[in-house]
Amino acid sequence: MMNATLLLTLMPAFALAADSLTYPVTRKDDSVIDDYHGTKVADPYRWLEDDNSEETKAWVKAQNEVTFGFLKAIPKREQIRERLQKAWNYERTGIPFEHGGKWFFNRNSGLQNQSVLYVADSLEAEARVLLDPNTLSKEGTTSLTETAPSEDGKWLVYGVSKAGSDWQEFRVKDIATGKDTEDLIEWVKFSGASWAKDSSGFYYSRYPKPKEGAALTEANKNQTVYFHKLGTPQSEDKLIYARPDQPDWGLHAYVTDDGHYLIYSVTHGTDPKNRFFYQDLKQADAKVVELLNDFDASYSFIENVGTTFYFHTDLKAPRYRVIAIDVMKPAKENWREIIPEGVDKLDSVSCVDGQLLCKSLKDARSAMVAYDLEGKKLRDIELPGIGSVGGFGGKRSDKITHYAFTSFTTPGAIYSYDVASGKSTLWKQPKVDFDATPYETTQVFVKSKDGTKVPMFLVHKKGLKLDGTNATLLYGYGGFDISLTPNFSIGRAIWLELGGVYALANLRGGGEYGAEWHLAGTKLRKQNVFDDFIACAEWLQKEGYTSPKKLAIMGGSNGGLLVGACMTQRPELYGAALPAVGVMDMLRFHQFTIGWAWKSDYGSSENADEFKAIYAYSPLHNLKPGTRYPATLVTTADHDDRVVPAHSFKFAARLQECHAKGDDAPPVLIRIETSAGHGAGTALTKVIEETADEWAFLWKVLGME
């Protein structure tokens, strides 16, 4: 529970005004004008795209001085930070997995910046530390990104990321001694490592070395598959597969469990549709076979039994199904349907102990069913409650698997699942300093602008008065076929303790209901996503949960775009906005790092029709001078090479320029984290500090008591 003193010593409601805030003057270059299909578009803050320039660095420093000066003056900030730190100090264990007769799992003792990798001879045996990434940097900003044990259990490939970058370095560790070999693989991004069955080396994908000084901004093209032989320099790695004729293809290769095939999932940006190729490893110099090359659907490889390959696919099934293809008879008329499309989305499928373990999403909540390899239903798998599950992975020969179960108010517990009996056994249960009993979770369905019903979860104290006075945080994403499901968050738990209401909207563009739901929020239909979110905000106010001055909206990455678009379209609807690492310049997103890969969802300003749609909602280009925008805290990081910080820099500069002036104008600020990236792998100390700043900001601008 929250400290009683904290509950009783709340400050009076703060004034909404930015007080005596003086924003840094941002230079404008009015000579930068682009022509998009006959439409002239000025870009006066283009110079902020250069993250290496001294002028940009000085601007970042000046903005942070104003922002942190404002945040540090909030009396509640330190109390919130202390409460977050206390609540976060609990042991957390990841889902264990077995390889080479050894068990591996991550564990965080509480306040460690990064979780530590452990190894044990069995789940009952005492585990020992195999790799502690906290020792790799003083600030705890080097994170573990990949862990791939060899087939014989002697070696571990591990990947590390520095300061939150997507770039990884792969190294190899002797599992018995804990010592590193001299193996070093560089310029890896969006790739795992897959060992040969004889443990002689591993397959991986990499990009060409970027130009000097351009590693965090240069477009990533021409991903290529290599084989690294253990004990040799990277310069001697064998080229396995490259497609210079298709520089935008992503090549993701891994070895099947039986060691017979090297399979390739061939992607094009972030489009769920993909191609699937394979190579026979039993034949010397076997050619790559382009089994599925029509780019007509999503194909996720599940398992092979001999020459029969099982796939999870949305081909002619927007809510997905399972099919089997005999690669010796690959013609479509020979394909077999194993599990047909159902009412709910078939979200994922794994094969363990000869069973297909299928996770479905029923209105964004998890359900599990087991089938045999011919599609006969064996049982419904009983889950601990209503929430979300992750895991159920493993090999076809495994007898047990593990999964995590979580909900909005239940931390992630880990369960062992016996495949033959269908019984679950609790393995690890975290103990968190948070009392969930005063809170309840409900789900409602909101009618959007075009009549579409949009699910929304609500989490709040029981007996909440619907009088419009509750500080409410509305969160959303709505893109890239990604599903938002119930999950536990310490930060959210403390928001609830502060008296806040939490609302999670399942918007079109996501993956909650399959391919049609996703496509309904893409390209020329992207405005549907914003309409859905706005409808949820209006519903919360109409039903008395909150009011405009008490409503905050929040989202990160594509969700940052969501917040930016909605606050520019309906600024009067919200009291606060928290856009995190958002895609704000929709005309130029494809110019940087992996941004070109998002065209499948967004379209591109290079296309005349898509430009018109994008320009109509691009947050940067829809800020209007003299408008009173909600209190805004933009957040980004200097090492974000997924959504480069220039998006947030330019948006914040333009927002400060356009925002209505006056003593009662709410603050519009940008918080720029150092030695951090897009979010994954961020040091826990930085996560706690940023969350404390966000909640303190909302505490002040929403007038919470």
**Which residues are catalytically annotated?**
557, 678
- Non-local (6+) Cβ contacts of 20 within 8 A are none
Q: List, as one string, the DSSP characters of 375-440.
A: --EEEEEP-SSSSEEEE----TT-SEEEEEEE-SSS--EEEEEETTTTEEEEEE----S---TTEE
CA–CA distance from 238 to each of 44, 221, 230, 400 (Å)?
47, 20, 12, 36
- Non-local (6+) Cβ contacts of 252 within 8 A are 190, 191, 192, 205, 264, 265, 266, 267
Q: List, as one string, the DSSP characters of 659-699.
A: BPPSTTPPPEEEEEESS--SSTT--HHHHHHHHHHHHHHHH
If 0-12 CB within 10 Å is exposed, 13-18 middle and 19+ buried, where does residue 561 land? buried
Cα 341 from Cα 317, distance rounded (Å): 6
**How large is the angle between the packed helices 76-88 and 684-701, nearest 10 degrees?**
140
Sign of CA pseudo-dihedral 341, 342, 348, 350: negative
CB atoms within 10 A of CB 434: 19
Say whether 571 sits in a helix, a strand or coil: helix
**How large is the angle between the packed helices 646-658 and 54-72, nearest 10 degrees?**
60
| Location of structure tokens 């409900």 | 442
Cα 435 from Cα 496, distance rounded (Å): 11
Using DSSP bridges, classify how beta strands 472-475 and 439-447 pair: parallel, antiparallel or unpaired.
Answer: unpaired
Widest Cα–Cα separation across the chain: 76
